[in-house]
Amino acid sequence: MLPRFILLVAILAVLELAAFDWRYRDLVYLSRPASVLDHASTGDFRTFADLALARPALTRAKLEVIAQTAAARHDDMVLFPALRRLANEYPADAGINLRLAEALRAVGHIEEADGYYRRALAASGGKP
Amino acid sequence: MPTYASPLAAVETSAATHDQPFDADSTLRYLESPARRRLNKVAAVLGVLVYAVYLVYRTLFTINPEALLFSLVVYAAEVHGFFALCFYFFQTWELRGRVVPAPANDLTVDVFVTTYNEDVAILRQTLRSAMAMTYPHTTYVLDDGRRDEVKALADELGCRYISRANNEHAKAGNWNNAFRQTTGQVIATFDADHAPRADFLVRTLGFFRDPKVALVQVPQRYHNLDSPQHRVDWKNRRMYGEQDVFFNLISPGKDNWNAAFFCGTGAVLRREALEPRGGLETGSITEDMHTALALHADGWKSVYLDELLVTGLAPMDFASLQVQRLRWAEGNLKIIRAINPLTEPGLTLPQRICYAGSMYHWTTGVAKLVFYFAPPWILFTGQYPIANFRPTFVFIYGALLLSLSVSYKVLSRGQGRLLMDELFNMATAFTLARAVKRLLVGRRRPSIFVVTRKGTSTTRDLTVALPFLGLVAFSLLGIEWCVLMLRFDVADDFFGLGLAMFWTVWNLWMMLAVIEIALRPPQRREACRFVTACPVTMQGTSPGGAPDTGMTANLSPTGCELLWLGPLPVGSRWSLSVALGAQTFECKGEITTTYHRRRGPWFVHGVRFLDLTNEQTDVLNDALLNMVVPRLFGDLSQPSQTVHLWRRIVKRVTDRYIARPRRSFINVPVQVTTGPATVLALLHDVSTNGFGVVMPRAVPPGTRMKVTVLGAQPWSVNVTVARSQPLPASLPAFQTWLVGLQVEAHVDASEVHRRMSEEVAA
């Protein structure tokens, strides 16, 4: 009985792996090393990043990965949604606000960038 | 407090004479000092208070609206635990023992032994033990199996046989059928596998001098210590019995409130109390508690006498245990349909609480299952039953756990073993939950009384392990899912999920222990085996033809494990003489197995007794039940680990100032010579200034003797008797004494100690 049970649990564990991969394939994809993601096809990266960003709950680490990879790939279509979500979820984080402000300024959104500079200043207690 | 010996066994005097009016309540005695009793109460109140504060905190701050249903289910399970704790503390609030009054001379006593399909060999010993009880009585065997061999057994033994045409109302119906045909003023009742001691009636009948006493119940002890519900640590001489808490704590605690109830066997009942209802209640499949509840509601008293007066057989496999517990749980829960202890007129408030507590206990399975399924559910979903699942909560929860552990330990008087209790809670959780389901939504067929299988089991019912295997699989998959979630940043709450994982692993560990019990190989032995050391002599094993001596490692009515100095060929047959106290049991035996121990000169042999007559089997059974069992229960009455640890610390400290010899327990056969007389005895323990031997007779202190150790090279030492104390035995024929011996002044005691330690056989 025990060997059959162990076999059954092993099969279930493999099926669970498959189910996890199906359920979270975007997050699994985004867990690849940075060097791999940096050279992945733009279509794949955008698809999985968009899927991930559409999730109601996303960990900070995963948002950071998306934002950093998008920045490295100069993919503003992904970078801004990722940074905006980070800034919304962690408004007290000066660094995030500053990064978003810098990114916005770089593409000429000065007015919006100014707002995030102010939020970064407020988050850092007024110390530049 | 010893576990298996009555604390008041030695105080059995009664001021009243037989004819004087007598109140059984006057026999109640507190078992603890006033300071200890205060400590118990403080611990109970504090434990309940801390739990109450925790629940208030949970209610106000931690119900999780994001997982409301899950949160409320876990909360309800915790509230269930709170009431269970309150019931437990109420029932163990005070433990009182009983001083045993002498019985009146003129009681007419019937003894009922109920049977349906039990092994006739088991029934034989029960009937013989019942008939051997010392107060005048008539023994009846109530055979619902209508078996010719039982009738023949009754005729052979001289007890009366009662049967009936049908099995209506199962055991209760069988009992009531005999009740209508008999006239004894009191009725002692035993299951077919529960053999009473000879003094059972003498110890219990005295309470019936109080005309309001309807019931005297004694604890149920089980002598098959290899059953699933026992755990024996032979090295430290400690035993855990799953029902110990009930019989050692809860029942004496109930007795304090006049709420001790009938447990179906090992009890004496007053006919006058039962006559209005025609015997036992038949409205449920647990007629015992139902009847006791009705008797208490009618104003009768009950008595619980915490003495080892009857031992029986526990279910030998996990499936039988589950069947038994399902019947108990279903029956006890369904009693509420016939009598509600909370509303039934005639009961006192403490009795209502005690009975409600007893019924409530059987609902524990549902709450426990919530606690077993909740952690893997958290791992799968990432949802918590607790809002604000942060270190503050963990700190408060830790304080609750600590408070519960301490108060439980204190109220359990050193006997409660949290881990083992939890293990068996888990082992029965699915079954108890099933009983609750049957109470709430019913079952397709009417409830039936299923007789618990005892003795040999040839098949293994693995289906009973399936729920636990399912839970293990669910937990393992939950852990895997959680690891994946953390690995791929699906979740990042390492603290919360880490705790849930710890909780899951903890439960998994216990589940595996339960599965180990459930998957044990079936018990194929023909008879129960008892660990006991008895000297054995055999003729012709050495070239000179002189009798040689060995000893048993265990003994059963069909064979023994023999320790012998040298190998004996498998298949060889010998004439054995086994010293059973003052009696010598002689028979032929065949060696079935042999192997050599890693250390020492002793070989271990399996021996099957050959061609035993009924009389020989009876002698063996008498010795086992009246000499071995009382000694076993006496030997295994060791305190809980906490108490044990505390005593070791105290001993360490005191040993710095008081030099005490260290004693170790060693069994080797010895020959004791006092003048011209020589007897075979057994070395029991050895210390650096003497040793103890178990002898078949008492020896006055100061007697000088020569002890010959029958090891590989026999050698002798002269000793003086320091003390002699009787070992527990319930028949004089099997009485033995532990004789403490001091080596003579000119002998090097430490050298004797060293040599004896080298001879160790068991």
On chain B, the residues whose CB falls within 8 A of the CB of A13 are 476-477, 480
Give yes or no: residues B552 and B436 share one domain.
no
Verify that B484 and B576 share a domain, yes or no: no
Please give the pLDDT value at position B10. 40
Residues B742 and B716 in one domain: yes
Q: Which of B476, B477, B492 sits opposite A61 (nearest CB)?
A: B492
User: Does residue A1 lie in a domain region?
Assistant: no
Chain A residues with beta carbon closer than 8 angstroms to that of B519? 1-2
Residue A72 in contact with partner chain B when CB distance is under 8 A: no
Instruction: Look up residue A22 and give its amino acid.
Output: W
Q: CB contact, 8 Å: A103 with chain B?
A: no
Domain end, chosen from B518, B546, B564, is at: B518
Chain B contact present for A24, CB below 8 A: yes
**Could you tell me if residue B656 is inside a domain?**
no
Total structural domains within chain B: 4
- Nearest C-alpha in B relative to A32: B488
Which residue of B476, B481, B484 is in closest CB contact with A9? B476
Do B72 and B123 sit in the same domain of this protein?
no
Q: Is A59 on the interface with B (CB under 8 A)?
A: yes
Task: State the ipTM, two decimals.
Answer: 0.92
Q: How far apart are CA B724 and CA B325, in angstroms?
A: 44
Rounded to 5°, angle at Cα B400 from B399 and B404 = 120
Contacts of B488 in chain A (CB under 8 A): 20, 24, 27-28, 31
Instruction: Supply the DSSP string of B1-68, one letter for each residue.
Output: --SSS-TTTT----SS-TTS---GGGGEEE-S-HHHHHHHHHHHHHHHHHHHHHHHHIIIIIB-GGGH
> For residue B261, what are its two tokens?
């109830």
Asked whether residue A8 is assigned to any structural domain, the reply reads: no
Residues 6+ apart with CB under 8 A from B161: B140, B141, B143, B150, B151, B154, B155
A58 to chain B nearest CA, in Å?
A: 7
Residue B552 and residue B559: Cα distance in Å, rounded?
10
The active-site residue, picked from B193, B288, B548, B635, is: B288
Q: Are residues B152 and B300 in the same domain?
A: yes
Q: Residues B470, B472, B474, B476: what is their CA dihedral angle, to the nearest 10 degrees?
A: -150
d(CA B450, CA B623): 32
Containing A13, the helix (H) or strand (E) segment is helix A2-23
Q: What's the pLDDT score for residue B16? A: 46
A18 touches chain B (CB under 8 A): no
Alpha carbon distance B450, B437 (integer Å)? 18
pLDDT of residue B762: 61
pLDDT of B658 reads 61
Contacts of A61 in chain B (CB under 8 A): 489, 492
Contact B519 A2 (CB under 8 A): yes
Residue A11 lies in a domain: no
Is residue B102 located within the same domain as residue B88? no
Q: Is B229 domain-assigned?
A: yes
Give the minimum alpha-carbon distance from B388 to chain A in angstroms, rounded to a whole number. 18
B144 is catalytic: yes
Query: Tokens representing B478?
Result: 């939950």
Q: Which of B285, B282, B280, B283 is nearest to B448 (CA)?
A: B285
CATH of the domain at B609: 2.40.10.220
Q: State the maximum Cα–Cα separation within chain A, in Å, rounded to a whole number.
A: 70
Distance from C-alpha of B454 to C-alpha of B464, rounded to nearest angstrom? 17
Q: Cβ contact (<8 Å) for A13 and B462?
A: no
Question: Does residue B524 fall inside a structural domain?
Answer: no
- B210 in active site: no
Q: Among B462, B465, B488, whose Cβ lies nearest the Cβ of A27?
A: B488
Mean pLDDT by 10 residues, chain B (762 residues): 43 51 90 92 96 95 94 97 96 93 93 94 95 95 95 96 93 96 96 94 96 96 89 82 91 95 96 95 90 96 95 90 92 91 95 96 96 96 88 91 93 84 94 93 68 60 87 97 94 91 96 91 78 87 68 92 89 91 90 83 90 92 91 75 72 67 79 86 84 90 89 84 89 89 78 74 62
Check CB contact under 8 Å for A31 and B476: no
Chain B: give the shortest CA distance to residue A74, in Å: 23
Domains contained in chain A, number: 1
| Chain A residue numbers touching B480 (CB-CB < 8 A) | 13, 16-17
Sort out which chain A residues have CB atoms less than 8 A from B476's CB and list them: 9, 13
Among B144, B191, B193, B622, the one annotated catalytic:
B144
Please indicate, yes or no, whether residues B289 and B380 belong to a single structural domain of this protein. no
Contacts of residue A6 in chain B, CB cutoff 8 Å?
none
Nearest 5°: CA angle at B710, between B707 and B716?
35
Of the residues B464, B489, B514, B517, the best mutation for testing chain A's interface (the one with the most A CB atoms within 10 Å of its CB) is: B489
Range of the domain at A56: 24-123
Read off the CATH number of the domain in which A48 is found. Answer: 1.25.40
Nearest CA in chain A to B487: A31
Asked whether residue B24 is assigned to any structural domain, the reply reads no
Q: How many CB atoms lie within 10 A of CB B498?
A: 12
pLDDT at residue number B283: 84
- The answer on B548 and B423 residing in a single domain is no
Of B469, B473, B489, nearest to A27 by CB-CB distance is B489
- pTM metric for this prediction: 0.87
CA B736 to chain centre: 24
| A4 within a domain of the structure (yes/no) | no
User: Does residue A47 sit within a domain?
Assistant: yes
Q: Is B542 helix (H, G, I), strand (E, B) or coil?
A: coil
Is B652 among the domain residues? Answer: no
Written as six digits, the tokens of B657 are: 């100032």
First to last CA, chain B: 28
Contact B492 A16 (CB under 8 A): no
Residues B407 and B297 occupy one common structural domain: no
Chain B nearest CA to A13, separation (Å) = 6
Q: In Å, how far is A18's CA from the nearest CA of chain B?
A: 11
Distances (CA, A) of B64 to B77, B389, B638: 15, 9, 46
Cα–Cα distances in Å, from B13 out to B8, B9, B731?
10, 10, 21
Instruction: Tell me which residue range forms the domain holding B123.
Output: 96-321
Task: Report residues of chain A scoring pLDDT below 70.
Answer: 126-128
For residues B309 and B218, the answer to whether their CB atoms sit within 8 Å is: yes
Residue B234 and residue B209 share a domain? yes
